[in-house]
């Protein structure tokens, strides 16, 4: 498929796909005229890349991890890298959970006691 279709399927921009290629995260075949051609599995790969970006990984880190994911590269270094990123994500989840709980406290205070709502008029839940 061509780049436009891949963009439409994955929901990322054409520019982003070219950027991924520039960063070495996504490869493409070329037609004789130089246009990019992608095989079907490229869509899954783009989804994975997006997933990792969304998890806060940099393109450099993703570049390091991708070979471990699909080519099953398996060295002590790659395993260490995977474990490290996994831990980073775990810590990020923990931090987010603490933040969420903190917000929950605030929300409870603002919704719970009628005292806080009294002077604003309390219309019930």
Residues in contact with DNA by the rule CB under 7 A? 2-5, 7, 12-16, 18-19, 23, 28, 31-36, 53, 57-60
In the list a second copy, DNA, none, the entry touching 42 (Cβ below 5 to 8 angstroms by class) is none
Q: Is 80 in the site for a second copy (CB under 8 A)?
A: no
Helices (H) and strands (E) in the chain, counts: 6, 2
> What is the spatial distance between Cα 92 and Cα 37, in angstroms, rounded to a whole number?
37
* Sites for a second copy among residues 9-38 (CB under 8 A): none
Q: 53 vs 117, which CB is nearer to DNA? A: 53
Q: Is 97 in the site for a second copy (CB under 8 A)?
A: yes
| Residue for token pair 């395993």 | 79
- Judge whether 108 and 116 are in contact, CB under 8 Å: no
> What is the spatial distance between Cα 124 and Cα 86, in angstroms, rounded to a whole number?
45
From the list 13-21, 22-30, 36-44, 93-101, the region that binds a second copy by CB under 8 A is 93-101
Angle subtended at Cα 36 by Cα 34 and Cα 38, rounded to the nearest 5 degrees: 150
Q: Is 68 in the site for a second copy (CB under 8 A)?
A: yes
Q: 57 vs 65, which CB is nearer to DNA? A: 57
């Amino acid at each position: 498929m061509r780049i436009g279709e891949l963009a439409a399927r994955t929901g990322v921009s054409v520019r982003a796909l070219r950027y991924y290629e520039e960063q070495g995260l996504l490869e493409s075949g070329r037609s004789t005229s130089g246009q990019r051609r992608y095989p079907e599995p490229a869509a899954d790969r783009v989804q994975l890349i997006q997933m990792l970006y969304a998890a806060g990984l940099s393109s450099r880190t993703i570049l390091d991890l991708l070979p471990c994911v699909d080519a099953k590269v398996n060295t002590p270094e790659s395993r260490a890298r995977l474990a490290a990123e996994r831990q980073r994500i775990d810590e990020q989840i923990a931090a987010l959970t603490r933040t969420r709980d903190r917000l929950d406290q605030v929300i409870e205070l603002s919704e719970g006691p009628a005292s806080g709502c009294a002077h604003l008029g309390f219309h019930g839940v």
